[in-house]
Amino acid sequence: MTLETVSTNKSFGGVQGVYRHRSAQTGTEMTFSVFVPDHAPGASLPALWYLSGLTCTHANVTEKGEFRAACAKHGVIFIAPDTSPRGDDVSDDEGYDFGKGAGFYVDATQEPWAKNFRMRSYIEQELPALIAANFPVDMGRQGITGHSMGGHGALTIGLRNAGRFRSVSAFSPIVSPLSCPWGDKALTGYIGGDRANWREYDACALIEDGARLPDLLVDQGTADGFLEEQLRTDLLIQACEKTGQPATIRMQEGYDHSYYFISTFMAEHVDWHAERLKA
Q: Active site includes 224?
A: yes
Q: Has 82 been annotated as catalytic?
A: no
Quick one: DSSP state of residue 257?
A: S
What Cα–Cα distance (Å) separates residue 87 from each residue in 14, 29, 30, 215?
31, 8, 10, 38
- Structural fold of domain 7-278: Rossmann fold (3.40.50)
Q: What is the pLDDT of residue 279?
A: 75
Q: Calculate ∠ Cα 15-72-63, nearest 5°.
A: 60
Domain ranges of the chain: 7-278
For position 177, what pLDDT does the model report? 98
DSSP bridge pairs for 174? none
What confidence score (pLDDT) does residue 245 get?
98
How far apart CA 151 and CA 160 sit, in angstroms, is 14
The pLDDT of residue 57: 98
- Look at residue 94 and give its three-state secondary structure: coil
Write down the catalytic residue from 74, 152, 257, 273: 257
Ranges of the chain with pLDDT below 70: 1
Beta strands in the chain (DSSP E): 3-11, 14-22, 29-36, 45-51, 77-80, 137-146, 165-171, 217-221, 248-252
Q: What is the per-residue pLDDT for 21? A: 98
pTM for the structure as a whole: 0.98
Q: Active site residue: 52, 224, 269, 273, which one?
A: 224
Catalytic residue among 33, 148, 169, 172: 148
Determine the pLDDT at residue 162.
87
Return the half-sphere exposure (C-beta side, CA atoms, 13 A cut-off) of residue 81: 33
Specify whether 97 is catalytic.
no
Query: At residue 276, what are phi and psi to the nearest 5 degrees?
Result: -85, -10
Q: How many whole angstroms separate alpha carbon 97 and alpha carbon 177?
A: 13
